[in-house]
């Protein structure tokens, strides 16, 4: 099934829109099956899970961190990931910069936008995004490549549209400002139920779990302890 799903999604996505397999709770074997079917980007929410999958899969795919990253996991994270999509504070960016410096790596990152301005959610508030970008761009081992957002969880994908629009506006504004050293090339928005709406609103990276790997069989919250 995974193989068919990857092929169908790759065919369905418009040109210029990249598919990322959101692989939380999936086994390394499932991840490998997706890669063999043509998936090129794996999204992981948990460093621990990524470490396990990386041992099997290695650099046959690009690895993106899409979960909240704790600073004490930054060292392990920079060793594996090609991109951290969830940078939302200067503290985290500084830690990543430091860890990258030690291994001579430049880390590509996205700034996570808390587009719903929800108090419990990760991400920088829209109004604070530009000043964060200005600060982070000074870090020598970090390269800002674009923006990512989740938006509030919604059953109806249309309810996500305003949050995707809001993030797109910030993305376009930053493109306009064109700060030296800052690229605005990647807009990561949309999951299984919302990726079509996200693409309509300008997403060029969609993070798909359920539609690609099937229903998750156990509660992902169980993994939060990792
Ligand atoms: C789980 C997850 C997804 C994919 O969710 P599905 O609904 O299974 O497609 C996308 N982005 C993030 C950050 C996730 O944690």
CATH of the domain at 69: 3.20.20.10
Ligand 1: residue whose CA is nearest its atom 6: 209
In angstroms, the CA 125 to CA 121 distance is 10
Ligand 1 touching residue 210 (CB < 6 A): yes
Reported confidence tier of residue 225, pLDDT bands at 50, 70, 90: very low
Q: How sure is the predictor about 226, in pLDDT bands with cuts at 50, 70 and 90? A: very low
Whether the per-residue pLDDT at 78 is higher than 90: the answer is yes
Quote the CA–CA distance of 134 and 104 in Å, as a whole number.
Answer: 23
Q: Does the Cβ of 68 fall within 6 Å of ligand 1?
A: no
pLDDT at 6 over 60: yes
Q: What is the pLDDT of residue 219?
A: 56
pLDDT at 66: 98
Total tally of structural domains belonging to the chain: 1
Binding site membership of 206 for ligand 1 (Cβ less than 6 Å):
no
Per 3-state DSSP, what percentage of the chain is helix, strand, and coil (rounded to 5)? 45, 20, 35
Range of the domain at 191: 2-225
183 pLDDT exceeds 50?
A: yes
d(CA 203, CA 168): 8
Distance (Å, whole) CA 147 – CA 125: 12
Query: For all residues of the chain together, what is the average pLDDT?
Result: 95
Binding site membership of 131 for ligand 1 (Cβ less than 6 Å): no
Q: Whose CA is nearest to atom 12 of ligand 1?
A: 66
Write down the pTM of the prediction. 0.95
Q: Residue 194 pLDDT > 80, yes or no?
A: yes
Q: How far apart are CA 132 and CA 141, in angstroms?
A: 16
């Amino acid at each position: 099934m995974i193989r068919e799903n990857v092929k169908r999604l790759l065919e369905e996505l418009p040109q210029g829109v990249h598919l990322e397999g959101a692989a939380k709770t999936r086994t390394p074997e499932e991840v490998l099956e997706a890669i063999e079917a043509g998936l090129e980007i794996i999204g992981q929410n948990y460093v621990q899970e990524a470490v396990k999958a990386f041992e099997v899969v290695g650099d046959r795919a690009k690895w993106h961190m899409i979960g909240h990253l704790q600073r004490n996991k930054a060292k392990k994270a920079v060793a594996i990931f090609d991109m951290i999509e969830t940078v939302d504070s200067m503290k985290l960016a500084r830690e990543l910069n430091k860890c990258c410096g030690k291994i001579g790596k430049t880390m590509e990152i996205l700034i996570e936008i808390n587009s719903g301005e929800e108090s419990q959610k990760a991400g920088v508030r829209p109004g604070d995004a530009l000043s964060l970008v200005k600060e982070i761009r000074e870090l020598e081992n970090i390269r800002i490549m674009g923006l990512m957002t989740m938006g509030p969880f919604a059953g109806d994908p249309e309810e996500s549209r305003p949050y995707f629009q809001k993030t797109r506006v910030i993305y376009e504004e930053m493109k306009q400002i064109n700060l030296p050293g800052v690229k605005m090339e990647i807009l990561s928005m949309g999951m299984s139920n919302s990726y079509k709406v996200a693409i309509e609103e300008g997403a060029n990276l969609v993070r798909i779990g359920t539609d690609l790997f099937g229903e998750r069989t156990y509660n992902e919250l169980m993994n939060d302890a990792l």
